[in-house]
């Protein structure tokens, strides 16, 4: 904790302006701290400084007006660790810094001065995400990833995730929010990692350890709205938000209206801040369809550009975009926004219908059939401009020419688990054998796979929506959640509405925590994921991930054959996935079943291996027919021995 200058010695402004890294926030320099804030709504701003939360011995210093609505001052004798807050005009109510690096007492408390240069990084040899190919994403929520719910506790499991075959950790939002728990999407302090998981240096230490284990770390960021409680931005400028666009979660952020230059700088500074001060390897941009901008450069394109300029290493930027607009992943020179990939809800929705048989609500336009999985394997999005009956409109734009790495496939994520109402994990909705077969499809397709925390070992714990707010907001959140889930007929009945978990109940949060000990106890599920990811990584054919490298045939309503073409002619792989009953192909007029010249197929891998709790798989091909085992996935490769053809 820094030492406040004695009461009889005034705090001095620095004679010369210090060199700032970012245009906003409190930055430490030799001998003091520089403060700068955008507040075009105000005529005058003072910064109050103290060592204790009570601010009993606080000192106040006037900030000087700067250009374009900014106020600034460089003050000597102020140190990292001190608390500060802003006093706006004659308003007696203090406000935290909009660009606060830490809120040790939560969003309504004072900000704390942080010196990021004090942390001793050891990741100098880390090279970032070198390519979009070969990545395996792991989504995690720090508060529920371990019983402790801290950065330090999560860091103890990084070696396990690296050993599993994960390459990128995708951290759910950490910008501070009120209450004792939450998902993070209602954050109000975009620069301050929440005090619930530890200090900013704890976050840095987590990233440093992840890099040491060979894991990249990207952060889920929310630039479409801020939370309903603890949002002080309007006190500085009403231009942070706009009524020009409808937003699902409150007022939209103003990226193209009056005074939007300060808002854009705020968000783009946030992008650079996370990448530079926390050595992050990229971002996941939440709900991009709710980010509205008619500027010459869309803010999403500016975010991607800024992210790539902010880090000396290659970064990875993924977006969530429900309308499935391919422009987000097109390169800037083609008029795109330059993201690396987009989440593919289509794959998840088909998978859910396949295992539950329920095509309800936003699953209405899916059948869970083999033809959908074949299309996803070849083309990524299923909807690229066709009519979508659930929305009574066309959905998507053509993305046939985009490489497989532009799509992130998953069968679990935070939203979809919670949206089931029960929070049940995917493996509990179907048979173990069908789940293993579908997992093989997910992890071997050329698109980038994503796992949700605990998926790799079949976590028995559910994952709910949880948010800790004061009484009135909590009531509104609970009602809003119930209304949203009522789109599902099963959850719309009075009986099920009464059973929905209360987002504000601490037990809803506690029940969502995964048990790391199950990683060993559920060895069969862990073996399945580890072996598949090793096959994906080490087999040269599955590792190609190139456009046109896979084709397929439909063998039955629930069975498909995918052929992965190797870089060397004849070095192909077959992935047979049957989610239904046994299928007998006699005859078998499916050209992709034919082995390479002078070879026969042999089984390389099966989902029914005893290591995974299965009962084994006989070879699917006989001299007279093919038998596709029910609820199973098999990988075939050409035999190493040439076939001897008599009489040739």
Residues identified as active-site: 286, 320
Q: Taking a C-beta distance cutoff of 8 angstroms, is the pair 154, 171 a contact?
A: no
- DSSP, res 31: T
Three-class secondary structure of residue 184 per DSSP: coil
CA Rg value for the chain = 27
Q: Taking a C-beta distance cutoff of 8 angstroms, is the pair 429, 353 a contact?
A: no
Q: Taking a C-beta distance cutoff of 8 angstroms, is the pair 239, 262 a contact?
A: yes
Instruction: Give the Cβ contact number of residue 631 at 10 Å.
Output: 23
Find where tokens 């870089």 sit.
Answer: 567
C-alpha dihedral sign at 486, 490, 494, 497: negative
Where helices occur in 3-56 by DSSP H, the ranges are none
Distance from the first to the final alpha carbon of the chain: 86
Residue 513, token pair as written in the block: 């925590």
Q: Taking a C-beta distance cutoff of 8 angstroms, is the pair 271, 99 a contact?
A: no
Distance of CA 62 to the CA centre of its chain: 41
Backbone phi, psi, residue 216, to 5°: -80, 155
Rounded to an integer, what distance in angstroms lies between the CA atom of residue 25 and that of residue 602?
A: 62
Contacting residues for 54 by C-beta, under 8 A, at least 6 apart = none
Rounded to an integer, what distance in angstroms lies between the CA atom of residue 446 and that of residue 347?
A: 13
> Does the N-terminal peptide bond of residue 587 adopt cis geometry, omega within 30 degrees of 0?
yes
Residue 191, token pair as written in the block: 């620069």
* DSSP states along 325-381: -GGGGS-GGGT----SEEE-HHHHHHHHHHHH----GGGTT----HHHHHHHHHHS-
Rounded to an integer, what distance in angstroms lies between the CA atom of residue 512 and that of residue 419?
A: 14
**Nearest C-alpha neighbor of 433 from the set 517, 358, 524, 349:** 524
Contacting residues for 623 by C-beta, under 8 A, at least 6 apart = none
């Amino acid at each position: 904790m820094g030492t406040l200058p004695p009461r009889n010695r005034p705090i001095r402004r620095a004679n010369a302006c210090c060199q700032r890294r970012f245009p906003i926030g409190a930055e430490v320099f030799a001998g003091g701290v520089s403060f700068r804030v955008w507040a075009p709504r105000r005529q005058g701003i003072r910064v109050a400084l103290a060592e204790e939360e009570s601010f009993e011995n606080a000192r106040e210093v006037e900030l000087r007006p700067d250009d374009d609505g900014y106020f600034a001052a460089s003050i000597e004798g102020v140190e990292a660790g001190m608390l500060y807050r802003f006093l706006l005009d004659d308003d007696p109510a203090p406000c935290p810094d909009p660009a606060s690096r830490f809120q040790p007492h939560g969003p309504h408390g004072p900000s704390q001065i942080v010196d990021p240069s004090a942390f001793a990084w050891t990741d100098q040899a880390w090279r970032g995400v070198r390519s979009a190919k070969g990545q395996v994403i792991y989504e995690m929520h720090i508060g529920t990833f371990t019983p402790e719910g801290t950065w330090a506790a999560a860091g103890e499991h990084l070696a396990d995730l690296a050993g599993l075959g994960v390459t990128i950790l995708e951290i759910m939002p950490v910008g501070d929010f009120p209450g004792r728990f939450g998902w993070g999407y209602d954050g109000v302090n975009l620069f301050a990692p929440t005090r619930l998981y530890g200090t900013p240096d704890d976050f840095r230490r987590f990233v440093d350890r992840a890099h040491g284990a060979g894991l990249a770390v990207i952060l889920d960021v929310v630039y479409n709205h801020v939370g309903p409680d603890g949002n002080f931005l309007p006190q500085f400028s009403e231009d942070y938000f706009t009524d020009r666009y409808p937003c699902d979660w409150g007022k939209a952020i103003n990226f193209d209206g009056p005074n939007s230059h300060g808002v854009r700088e705020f968000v783009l500074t946030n992008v650079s801040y996370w990448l530079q001060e926390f050595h992050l390897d990229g971002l996941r941009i939440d709900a991009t369809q709710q980010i509205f901008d008619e500027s010459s450069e869309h803010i999403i394109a500016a975010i991607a550009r800024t992210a790539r300029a902010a880090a000396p290493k290659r970064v990875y930027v993924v977006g969530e975009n429900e309308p499935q607009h391919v422009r987000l992943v097109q390169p800037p020179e083609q008029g795109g926004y330059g993201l690396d990939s987009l989440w593919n809800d289509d794959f998840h929705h088909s998978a859910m219908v396949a295992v539950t048989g329920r095509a309800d609500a936003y699953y209405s336009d899916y059948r869970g059939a083999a033809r959908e999985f074949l299309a996803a394997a070849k083309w990524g999005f299923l909807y690229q401009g066709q009519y979508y009956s659930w929305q009574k409109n066309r959905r998507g734009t053509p993305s046939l020419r985009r490489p497989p790495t532009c799509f992130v496939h998953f069968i679990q994520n935070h939203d979809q688990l919670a949206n089931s109402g029960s929070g049940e994990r995917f493996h509990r909705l179907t048979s173990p054998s069908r789940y293993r077969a579908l997992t093989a499809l997910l992890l071997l397709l050329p698109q980038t796979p994503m796992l949700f925390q605990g998926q790799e070992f079949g976590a028995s714990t559910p994952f709910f929506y949880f948010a800790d707010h004061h009484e009135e907001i909590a009531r509104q959140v609970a009602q809003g959640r119930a209304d949203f889930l009522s789109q599902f007929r099963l959850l719309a009945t009075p009986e099920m509405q009464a059973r929905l978990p209360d987002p504000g109940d601490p037990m809803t949060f506690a029940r969502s925590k995964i048990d790391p000990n199950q990683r060993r106890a559920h060895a069969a599920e862990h073996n399945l994921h580890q072996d598949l990811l090793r096959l994906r990584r080490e087999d040269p054919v599955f590792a190609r991930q190139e456009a046109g490298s896979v084709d397929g045939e439909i063998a039955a309503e629930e069975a498909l054959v995918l052929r992965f073409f190797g870089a060397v002619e004849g070095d192909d792989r077959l992935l047979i996935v049957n989610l239904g009953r046994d299928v007998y192909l006699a005859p078998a007029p499916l050209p992709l079943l034919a082995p390479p010249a002078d070879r026969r197929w042999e089984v390389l891998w099966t989902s029914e291996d005893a290591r995974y709790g299965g009962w084994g798989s006989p070879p699917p091909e006989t001299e007279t027919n093919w038998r596709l085992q029910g609820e199973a996935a098999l990988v075939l490769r050409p035999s190493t021995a040439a076939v001897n053809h008599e009489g040739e």
